[in-house]
Amino acid sequence: MKVFESKCTFEYSWEEVSTANWRKYCPWNEKSTHVIATDTLSRTVDPKTGILRTERLIACQQSVPKWVTAVLGGNAVSYVYETSYVDPASKKVTMCSTNLTYSNVLSVRETVVYQPHQKSPESRTEFKQNAEVMALCGGWQKVKNGIEDFTVERFGQNAKKGREGFEAVLEMSRRVFGEQKELQRRQQLA
């Protein structure tokens, strides 16, 4: 098993980040054009804790080498199952996802956490990402290592693009929200 880890700080409040998180695959995000559909399967709020739990199915158009689809079958659309937990009391968003496509060959389990920055909790948000990658191809250790190394490297490239795209979504969300607030202010003055 190989592990990918990443951390960064967004120069936006936790409220902005946790709200924009639901829009990260929108058209504003030119870095996520591979996401072709996001379907919410369920959404519930725990009455005791106030935690919002959401299950989603995400469909992605992947650039899978042709030999992979020839050997393993399937097509270039892959599916990811995501469960997220938004805890407004502790200001924490936790997202857990796992691949459904090719899961008999490769298991990728990702966890993402957004929390207010310790030193600037009102204006910055910490992002932590962890992905465990495990190839499931029997006793061929060299092949397993190669698949895992390739997947972790590709995961890192995609994670960088994902952060860049989310920054664009955050910027656009702030701009749109600011315009809405200004419009409301003008309407109140009229």
User: Which CATH number do you get for residue 166?
Assistant: 3.30.530.20
Decide if pLDDT at 28 tops 80.
no
| Number of other residues whose CB lies within 10 A of the CB of residue 59 | 16
What integer is the mean pLDDT of 27-46?
89
Domain count, the chain: 1
Residue type present at position 163: R
Q: Give the per-residue pLDDT at 73.
A: 66
* Complete DSSP assignment for 73-99: ---SEEEEEEEEEEETTTTEEEEEEEE
pLDDT band for position 87 (cuts 50, 70, 90): very high
Q: How do residues 40-56 score in pLDDT, each as one tens digit?
A: 999 999 999 999 999 99
The tens digit of pLDDT for each residue in 93-152 reads: 999 999 998 888 889 999 999 999 999 999 999 999 999 999 887 667 888 888 888 889
Q: Above 80 in pLDDT, residue 183?
A: no
State the residue range of the domain holding 87: 2-189
The better pLDDT of the pair 116, 185 is held by: 116
Specify the pLDDT at position 111. Answer: 98
Mean of per-residue pLDDT scores for the chain:
89
Which of 78-92, 150-164, 166-180 is most confident? 78-92
Q: What is the mean pLDDT of residues 57-61?
A: 93
* Residue 135 Cα distances to 72, 151, 180, angstroms: 14, 9, 48
